[in-house]
Amino acid sequence: MSVTDGVGLIELDRPERRNALNVALCGAIVDAVGSVLADGARAVVITGSGSSFCSGADFGEVYTDGFRDALYAALHAVTDAPVPVIAAVNGPAIGAGTQLAIACDLRVGAPEAVFGVPTARIALAVDPWTVHRLAQVAGGGTARSLLLACAQVDVALAHARGLVDRLGDRAVALELAAEIATLAPLTLTYNKLALDRTDLPADDPALVTAFEACWESADLVEGQHARAERRSPVFTGR
């Protein structure tokens, strides 16, 4: 875990288990997201060590009390982060690995990336949030294929269908995060909230407050000045 020039990097580090999620690792994700935000990250990259992004839930713990709570706490820590989060999918993202990837706002896929949600093979189930999120991100057809046929989607098909936003490795993901880190933070926070909370009415106080904050910000003035002066703006999130 580190923050460099406004970009936070979180690496899942259980290569001996192909970064399978257990209670401890889920808790570490929650803590890591909080830490990089506290250190000033304006964009975050999540990736895996070794050859896998995340092989899914650790079957040594998936059936134990507390695992589901730990898993969904980790997923929502990622989704609820007020800055864009990018999954650098460096290898297989299966089951909970696909859940983690779609909890992120954007996905960069390496050639080895593959996605799958084979819960019907083992009589497990993902929550409705995951189902809806998968359909929103990858489209209904892809979601049905993954959930009903237990299909696996390789990186080329994932890119064609919108599940992967860019092709490339960790360096590409970090480059994208660096680009995002220069953008107006208040605008990104509002955009993310509006995209993720489509259940909110247009006059919801949280949406209205975030929207108005953009129009009342010092960054808006900075954007005006930078445009007039023909220079790149320097946004502060205020």
- Count other C-beta atoms under 10 Å from residue 236's C-beta: 12
**Local confidence band at 13 (pLDDT 50, 70, 90 cut-offs):** very high
- Specify the pTM: 0.95
What residue ranges in 49-207 does DSSP mark as E strands?
A: 85-89, 92-94, 106-109, 114-116, 152-154, 166-167
Over residues 183-219, the pLDDT tens digits come to 999 999 999 999 998 888 888 999 999 999 999 999 9
| Whole-number percent of the chain with pLDDT over 70 | 100
Read off the DSSP letter of residue 237: -
Q: In sequence order, what are the residues at sequence separation of 6 or more whose Cβ sits closer than 8 angstroms to the Cβ of residue 74?
A: 21, 25, 26, 27, 29, 30, 100
User: What is the predicted pLDDT for the residue at 19?
Assistant: 97
State whether residue 115 is helix, strand or coil. Answer: strand
User: What is the predicted pLDDT for the residue at 179?
Assistant: 97
User: What is the predicted pLDDT for the residue at 197?
Assistant: 86
Query: How far apart (Å, rounded) are the C-alpha atoms in residues 47 and 93?
Result: 10
Q: Which helix (H) or strand (E) holds 163?
A: none
User: What is the predicted pLDDT for the residue at 198?
Assistant: 82
Calculate ∠ Cα 170-188-30, nearest 5°.
60
Over residues 151-180, the pLDDT tens digits come to 999 999 999 999 999 999 999 999 999 999
- Please report, for residues 31, 56, 217, 224, the alpha-carbon distance to residue 47 in angstroms, rounded to integers and kept in the order given: 15, 14, 33, 36
Residue 94 has pLDDT above 90, yes or no: yes
Residue 51 has pLDDT above 90, yes or no: yes
Calculate ∠ Cα 6-11-13, nearest 5°.
160
